[in-house]
Amino acid sequence: MILALIALCCASASVGSGASSVPPHEDVARMARFVVNKCDWASMATISSHEPVKGQPFSNSFSISDGPAGNGTGTPYLYLTHLEISVQDLQVDDGEVSVAKDSLFSRHPEMMDWPTDHSWFFAKMNISQVWVLDYFGGVKTVTPEQYYKATPYRKYHGNDTHNVDEPHGSTDKILSRISAEHH
């Protein structure tokens, strides 16, 4: 088993007319869920076990999806190959293949045409910690329970002072430390 750091970045989340608004920065768990659902890619960093960079930090970007835009589950799924050196320690749960496939292919339809000789497989991130850096004041932490309980999208009504129809003013970043292993 290896600990991996997954960084999900959504720079200036774009919110057009009719789209759900960016949650207020004080609503940390909702912000985390919002960013995960808005992001199409994640960066996974590990300490490499492969030469010539063995023992050094190593990072790759991966396509992710927690479900359809605006209706995600909060669980990021990945479509991976054992040929990718960063992937060799991720967990595969065959019981969730259908959910992972629907989540990923709905957001990344080009994956359906990736070469079959690469032995692609589905994996999910098992979230153990969530760090949110979305505003001044440093990193805020969210428990997995708070994260999954949060509703990332909410329409604001009337005189709600948090009605945000403009893109968020800062770069939203979510850091999620996960445990990862594979078969």
How is residue 134 written in tokens? 């979305």
Q: Render pLDDT for 136-157 as a digit per residue (tens, 0 to 9).
A: 889 999 999 999 999 988 765 4
Higher pLDDT, 58 or 119: 119
List beta partners, residue 65: 77
Order of strands, edge to edge, in the sheet holding 172-180? 120-124, 77-81, 57-65, 41-47, 2-10, 172-180, 126-133, 140-142
The pLDDT > 70 percentage for the chain reads 70
Confidence band of 14 (pLDDT split at 50, 70, 90) = very low
What's the confidence (pLDDT) of residue 73? 94
Confidence band of 45 (pLDDT split at 50, 70, 90) = confident
10 Å CB burial of residue 66 (0-12, 13-18, 19+) is buried
Q: How many CB atoms lie within 10 A of CB 169?
A: 11
CB 172 within 8 A of CB 9: yes
Look at the pTM and tell me if it is higher than 0.85.
Answer: no
What's the confidence (pLDDT) of residue 172? 38
Q: CA-CA distance, 6 to 4, in Å (whole number)?
A: 6
Q: Render pLDDT for 91-114 as a digit per residue (tens, 0 to 9).
A: 556 778 899 999 999 999 999 999
